Amino acid sequence: MMHNVTLADRARPDYQALFESAPVSYAVLDPELAFVAVSDAYLRDTMTVREQIIGRGIFEVFPDNPDDPDGSGTGNLRASLERVLRTRQPDTMPVQKYDIRGPDGSFQAKYWSPRNVPVLSAAGQVAYILHRVADVTELVHASEVGEELRGRQSATEREVIQRSRELAAALGEVRAANAKLAAESATDSLTVLPNRRTFSRRGEQAAQALRNSKKPYGLILLDLDNLKQINDEYGHEVGDEVLRKLGNILNSQLRNSSDMAARLGGDEFAVLCFGDINEQTLHDVAERIHTQIAKEPLATPKGLLRYAGSFGLALSMSEDPDWKTLYGRADAALREAKAAGKDRISFGRSQSKSATARLRALSVPPASSIPSSPA
């Protein structure tokens, strides 16, 4: 029978059917490590049924073999998946012995070569993990040999597994060292917030996501007012403590795990807001930060030190050519806030509009705080 396939049909392929028919063992896991989708090849290799595993956790479906107390497949796989969730980077595992239940319920010895790849959301978080496995049991069990070769094969198998474990341990040490270096290069040493490089990378990712999803995101730039005067009057150690305290406040006022607070350098901080965001909700975040700053003065030998900040806000627009355009609007708004007397919120809007910013004094600095000076 002939079927007429229109151009519209061709433009809308059935991705589920394509995925399930892939000739490779694939599974899609959610961040809770539960099955979302599996390919037909995965079902064949693992001797499972799609309807019986979708929605269940991978370690519920594939538990440890109780007859193999030395088995490490479950622990190694869990560590790899958690590493992907934490680092948002792909993770290739060495060959693993991971026994699975056959149709009769008994465990069968299996060897696998797994790779786990993160699928990131528009906000840069892990939405899914693509779990690919290759059944390499036949490569490990070359059974078409005599008894003498079988003994050699058994020794070879043990050596392969031992070398795989040694390789996994070595890779773990390398990953730990790389993670430490990455953390040091990605964070500010004083506040332990993400630094300017990490912040800029996240902003570029957000701009790309905006082009794809059309969902806006917001930016808050915050300058700690009068840091030089604080350092001059109280000392640099107190100034550093104020910066650390402000970093903690920013982190505490994030709305969700997708939002990011960062220290850009000196007295400059920033907050990126994702999800359900508009001008009012972005302004509310800035208000909460300001309110919390007022509630947390710093105790010093000279008494309580009250400090404040100036805020520049901007919301992304679909016509923004790049991430720097949004940053420019927020930066211009921040300069207006500082020029208008500091301790204020300024909202940057499109330069094509008559009003480029909305200013409102947040509060009059208390008499005990550091007095304002020109920016």
Whose CA is closest to 22, among 3, 46, 40, 49?
A: 40
Residues 6+ apart with CB under 8 A from 344: 310, 311, 337, 359, 360, 361, 362
Q: Directed axis angle between helix 279-295 and helix 236-252, to 10°?
A: 140
Which residues have a catalytic role annotated?
267
Amino acid occupying residue 161: I
Classify residue 324 by burial, with Cβ atoms within 10 Å: 0-12, 13-18, 19+. middle
Q: What share of the chain is helix, strand, coil (3-state, %, to 5)?
A: 45, 20, 35
* Best CA proximity match to 102, nearest among 51, 63, 57, 47: 47
CA atoms within 13 A on the CB side of 16: 2
Residue 116, class by beta-carbon neighbours within 10 Å (0-12 exposed, 13-18 middle, 19+ buried)?
buried
